[in-house]
Chain A
């Protein structure tokens, strides 16, 4: 009994931290519709600032508490600055371009922390006055955690008062429900957005600052917290502070008991809960069905009609065929990597660009394709070309299963459910040692002898990636592709003319999964090994960034995006230890210069 009580308290303490971070994220998304990857960076920055300020402020035992507040305020100010200086410039861009910008900020913040504070792990001092423990039901429990459990509801109460007793709060609630209506009524949206960003960042900062006496500070704490925070926000319902509170409690307490009951499931427990909640309640526990935005951010210009002149295509094909003769060996390998990612990004583009379905878990199918091919080669002993071709079919099976559930949801809920499925795939290949080799992966996944030379594998990869890209273009231009666009632009009208939305989107999901799997197979034989990280979330972010960078509205966008991103990444990593700042800085410059993506800018120039 006492064990259950203490576990409950531990769970509640963790829940309060989740709530602080997730409520800020939920607010920002609810009002601005920005998927703010940088939220975790604000959390991390505040923690490090608190660490330094505690040592610097001459306030004795009060130093930590003062430092935590100051750090949260500094981070809130930084959040405001980011909104005013950067995000405001890209609100007119198609939806999700803000996401690319916040991703660039994550990269920059990570390197800034490493540069300023160093890479070694740090532990801040215990909280003065709350360093000890109190006996509860025969066990010791940290007094600091008790204080946090009391503090969380106070924050929730303050937020409630803010939203229900102030005009600003009422406007925020109104904007969360229908921001265009609020704008039409003459409310200055810009100030509202900035204000929400400041408040949201403050909450993230507070969460980070208060972790200093409990956890260790690391340069990767941003990515750890951001995924959890998104899960909580989505379970609770985007934009709902109460939902965030409820979901935090659910996840915090479930994790605490999960350790007792299902110790091996801790890697996915949270994602399984999210998947179940979303399948049952497509808008989260306390979320509301989304209003279809009236012309959100302006229609995406459709460049698909204007196909490039045959002469250009011919020149491109000749160039690609001649490449292995001209390039040094390493760049031949590099070209194969770009082909794999171009196909991967193009398959995501089918969902994102044409279908308006943004997936955060596309790596699941890349990973399944890679693992399928590797297992058939190594375990089943199939010849390499057969294993290569069958790998994508494994991905197709996965996409058929997961797609069935995913296409029932829309927008961010769809994105997060795909993420949940990808995490489940990751957890399976990571934990199923006997079959997949666990985190040590599957080695010696090399091409057949006649394909081993760089040039031969180059042509092999070019043939398959090229065919994949062309087929995707054919799909896009077919009646099927047009119907997909119709659903994206106006689901209800599309339904009214007799399109079966779910079947259509499900089919698109399966097709995209197949080609992502093909990309995974190309990649597996290029690297000679497969690992669980192939299905992990950073691998899902890569094609997303490529599609956005290249231009979500242009068919050549994913290809250009993949090439530019991969080459930049490779070249910058070579010259500096701080490659993240370099990459993030260039991404920001590109976004500001080409707010519709690189290909989007090229198309616009032509017209």
Chain B
């Protein structure tokens, strides 16, 4: 008897799935957009706030009457950090949900897999976060654009500052992924241009998510560099800092960290956050423009949480998507592809442009120094500059050489 009941349960679950896949036919309903991101697994700490930013943007756009007279609606899918899973969702979103385009992408390999699928299947893909340069350059194509400044840009921003400092002997530590390696190579190459006498005394590539911080800290200190370039993130970075603090690493060398000033990475450290690091990040608490201050107030009012960079990225991504649909005057893919070329978007941090040559947006990053804020009990960025993307992006000619001919 019992097994029959379970069989019935199973069948009804399957039936439910089959019944719902048909979905409502959308003649003049809302414009549907698909969002694929790593909502569970290693990306989860960052994609939660991203989603909050997306929902805020969508609510605000719809409150003003939507786009082309239609509301917009976002269908979220969790890629579980797996590229193959993301491709499955892309198929489903386009074939079954009939979305106008796909956005999202936290991990580089997920971004690349969906991007290649989008090219093959004539779908527009707006990469929000994934940082690998390949998305817009060596594997670039017409159907993909990206919002965040990539590893090349951020590495260069940091090198432009660090190159003016006295440090000669450098070491690096980063995850054994393309992200870590490229983040270091672009920084190192730029440093060599600015300061030819620099030396590299050590490179460390622990396995992502499985760092053994104690032995690594000791190994780095034994190489005795003047400065250390860090591209660790997430739990690896947190564990590394804790050991590095106890073993006195930050007293012995200057530290440069890509992304590490972002609230995502610095807030969990609370008062253990190291001071005096040169970082790229997002000092939301200190950006004075009225548009941004108003955005922060609205964000806090909605969710009772302070924003992180993911929140801003989610918000701007869908501002850009709405703007592109408006400019295209349609949700037709060919028109969207054309609309994204040179698309200008007015964002809480000022205007940005999606470059016609490669689809990389000119959104920049903030570069500054870390310090403890005793009042909030977390690390913050001080003495920072906003470096716009235009300042560090290669010229159109250089980009054309990197992109596959098509």
Of A212-220, A393-401, A505-513, the one with at least 4 CB within 8 A of chain B: A212-220
Q: How distant is the Cα of A172 from the Cα of B216 in the complex, in angstroms?
A: 39
Interchain CB contact under 8 A, B176 and A140: no
Interchain CB contact under 8 A, B212 and A441: no
Interchain CB contact under 8 A, B178 and A439: yes
Q: How distant is the Cα of A570 from the Cα of B239 in the complex, in angstroms?
A: 35
* Cβ of A201 under 8 Å from chain B: no
* Cβ of A304 under 8 Å from chain B: no
A246 to chain B, nearest CB (A): 19
Interchain CB contact under 8 A, A263 and B205: yes
Of B110-118, B280-288, B389-397, the one with at least 4 CB within 8 A of chain A: B110-118
* Cβ of B158 under 8 Å from chain A: no
Q: Which 3 residue pairs spanning A and B have beta carbons closest together?
A: A216-B238, A119-B44, A593-B6
Contact of A589 among B6, B116, B204, B268 (CB under 8 A): B6
Residues of B with C-beta under 8 A to A586? 10, 13
Contact of B44 among A3, A10, A145, A219 (CB under 8 A): A219
Q: How distant is the Cα of A571 from the Cα of B214 in the complex, in angstroms?
A: 43
A-B contacts, 15 of them at CB < 8 A, read A7-B218, A119-B45, A217-B235, A219-B44, A220-B41, A255-B212, A263-B203, A266-B205, A266-B212, A433-B181, A439-B177, A529-B87, A533-B83, A568-B13, A574-B17
* Cβ of B371 under 8 Å from chain A: no
Encoded as 1 (CB less than 8 Å from any B CB) or 0, chain A from 120 to 161 comes to 111100100000110000011110110000000000000000
Residues of A with C-beta under 8 A to B327? none
Interchain CB contact under 8 A, B206 and A215: no
Contacts A119-B44, A330-B95 given: A216-B10 contact, CB under 8 Å? no
Contact of B209 among A220, A431, A439 (CB under 8 A): A220
Total number of B residues with any Cβ neighbor in A under 8 Å: 78
* Cβ of A13 under 8 Å from chain B: yes
Binding site for A on B (CB under 8 A): 2-3, 5-7, 9-10, 13-14, 16-17, 21-22, 39-42, 44-45, 47-48, 76-78, 80, 82-84, 87-88, 91-92, 95-96, 108-109, 112-113, 116-117, 120, 132, 134, 139, 176-178, 181, 203-207, 209-210, 212-216, 218-219, 221-222, 234-235, 238-239, 242-243, 246-248, 264, 268-270, 272
Contacts A133-B248, A443-B116 given: A215-B235 contact, CB under 8 Å? yes
Closest B residue to A219 using CB positions:
B44
Q: How distant is the Cα of A416 from the Cα of B301 in the complex, in angstroms?
A: 52
Interchain CB contact under 8 A, B17 and A567: yes
Residues of A with C-beta under 8 A to B3? 593-594, 601
B281 to chain A, nearest CB (A): 16
* Cβ of A438 under 8 Å from chain B: yes
B163 to chain A, nearest CB (A): 26
- The interface centre, meaning the residue of A145, A444, A528 with most chain B CB atoms within 10 A of its CB, is A528
A569 to chain B, nearest CB (A): 9
Residues of B with C-beta under 8 A to A133? 246-248
Residues of A with C-beta under 8 A to B48? 118-120
Encoded as 1 (CB less than 8 Å from any B CB) or 0, chain A from 220 to 239 comes to 11001000000000000000
* Cβ of A382 under 8 Å from chain B: no
Interchain CB contact under 8 A, A590 and B6: yes
B23 to chain A, nearest CB (A): 9
State which residues 407-449 of A face B: CB under 8 Å.
430-431, 433, 438-441, 443-444, 446
Question: Which secondary structure characterizes the binding site on chain A?
Answer: helix
Q: How distant is the Cα of A210 from the Cα of B268 in the complex, in angstroms?
A: 19
Contact of B116 among A7, A126, A529 (CB under 8 A): A529
Residues of A with C-beta under 8 A to B10? 564, 586, 590
State which residues 99-124 of A face B: CB under 8 Å.
110-111, 114, 118-123
Interchain CB contact under 8 A, A441 and B6: no
Interchain CB contact under 8 A, A120 and B45: yes
B212 to chain A, nearest CB (A): 5
Contacts A119-B48, A123-B268, A593-B2 given: A214-B243 contact, CB under 8 Å? yes
Residues of B with C-beta under 8 A to A430? 176
Residues of B with C-beta under 8 A to A365? none
Residues of B with C-beta under 8 A to A132? 246
Q: How distant is the Cα of A142 from the Cα of B132 in the complex, in angstroms?
A: 36
Contact of B215 among A255, A523, A534 (CB under 8 A): A255
Residues of A with C-beta under 8 A to B268? 120-123, 216
Q: How distant is the Cα of A91 from the Cα of B399 in the complex, in angstroms?
A: 62
Encoded as 1 (CB less than 8 Å from any B CB) or 0, chain A from 502 to 535 comes to 0000000000000000000001000111010110
Q: How distant is the Cα of A435 from the Cα of B100 in the complex, in angstroms?
A: 36
Q: How distant is the Cα of A579 from the Cα of B80 in the complex, in angstroms?
A: 10
Interchain CB contact under 8 A, A438 and B178: yes
Contact of B84 among A6, A121, A527, A590 (CB under 8 A): A527
